[in-house]
Homo-oligomer: A and B are copies of this chain.
């Protein structure tokens, strides 16, 4: 295969016609393939369904001298705090245990900043004339969605191979209306980038003008290796505390991609002072999240070592799927000079950057051919990718055969989009 750039115009037009015919044949098949969301596949759910039977008897339901079936313990089961603290490297007292969605804990934190203010806020953010928020991009659409939902101005910070562009971040936080930043520090969504130690140190040591500047540290993929051994990662809470920023960071994680996405548990880890302040607000909202399910997770996952063993089983299922995506891209698109992509070692996504202006058209063609993907632009603030280039591929949900088919459709659509652009 020749890079498209080397083809003459008539060669391009001839190739476009051939590919269009192939595309039409595929459309006729009425495929229904989905690579839109980082959703574990059924094989993965079956791997962890032993969690259904770890508690079967009333006597199983006592832990830390608590009957988990009854009311109480706003901040969650102590044993669940110990489990998450060990996984994240923080302290149990820094943990608040939530329900099936860490998204909810993140939303609620921002909502409380908006309605009541955080510990160091001068006033609730709803009373601020302007709130700006830093959005490393490409990033996670649901993060940007929360900020946008609360009327913030979203500032794009480009991602580098080491994490967000920290020169720019350090500059932007001098503006007191800049109130925070979204981070997915390990196996970032969608690129799978692991923030370097230097980046993490610079984030911990930020000197923002806003007294209530907030680092939303969404450690969603903290134990989510796909290729290779478990990769240790620094504890942001102690790093922030060490440089005089103890209350600046809120770390989030969940078991959504460890046990069941629809029935996991989640955590918000932050300084004990922040916990005291926030639990003073949270007590109006909830008695406690589901403690029976918290105990199920404690009994099933046991500790960090065993959790990593469970994750190794997930990786066995995910590895061939990631390989399929990466191999197909390398074979079908690589030689043509149409796109570049990351080779993630973990997380749930492969991030593809097409030549400028091809993402939307590629995904429109995919949709026509029955392949659903995350919308083009979703990885950027306001859903607008200025280069119309970034595409997020989520390989986890389809079976391997379906995935192979979907990837071939995707590559065909990308080629076709590139050739149409010429015309």
Interface residue ranges, A against B (CB under 8 Å): 37, 39-40, 42, 45-46, 49, 52-53, 55-58, 60-61, 67-73, 99-101, 103-104, 107-108, 111, 114-116, 124, 126, 142, 145-146, 149-150, 256, 260-263, 281, 284-293
Contact B146 A263 (CB under 8 A): no
* 8 A-B pairs closest in CB distance: A263-B292, A107-B285, A69-B260, A71-B261, A262-B291, A100-B290, A149-B284, A263-B290
A286 touches B103 (CB 8 A): yes
Instruction: Choose among B73, B262, B289 the residue that contacts A292 (Cβ–Cβ < 8 A).
Output: B262
Copies per assembly: 2
> In the complex, which of the residues B42, B53, B262, B291 contacts A290, with contact meaning CB atoms closer than 8 Å?
B262
CB distance from A406 to the nearest CB of B (A): 18
Q: Once the chains bind, are A57 and B68 in contact (CB under 8 Å)? A: no
Residues of chain B contacted by A145 (CB below 8 angstroms)? 284
**A–B complex contacts, Cβ < 8 Å, 10 sampled:** A39-B70, A49-B58, A53-B53, A71-B261, A103-B285, A116-B149, A262-B292, A263-B291, A290-B290, A290-B293
Docked-complex contact B45 and A285, CB < 8 angstroms:
no
Report if A288-B49 is in contact (Cβ < 8 Å); known contacts: A114-B115, A115-B114, A262-B68.
no
Q: Which of B49, B107, B124, B285 contacts A69, CB < 8 Å? A: B49
Q: Report yes or no: B284 in contact with A262, Cβ–Cβ below 8 A.
A: no
Contacts of A46 in B (CB 8 A): 58
Please give me the residue from chain B that is nearest to A149 by CB atom.
Answer: B284
| A292 & B260 in contact (Cβ 8 Å cutoff) | yes
Question: Do residues A284 and B142 form an inter-chain contact, with CB atoms below 8 A?
Answer: yes
A17 to B156, CA, bound (A): 76
- Assuming A49-B61, A103-B287, A149-B284, what are 17 further A-B pairs, CB within 8 angstroms? A37-B71, A52-B55, A53-B56, A100-B287, A100-B290, A101-B288, A107-B286, A108-B285, A111-B111, A145-B284, A146-B284, A149-B281, A260-B292, A262-B287, A262-B292, A263-B292, A293-B293
When the two chains form their complex, are residues A71 and B126 in contact, meaning their CB atoms are under 8 A apart?
Answer: no
Q: Which chain B residues border A107 with CB–CB below 8 Å?
A: 284-286
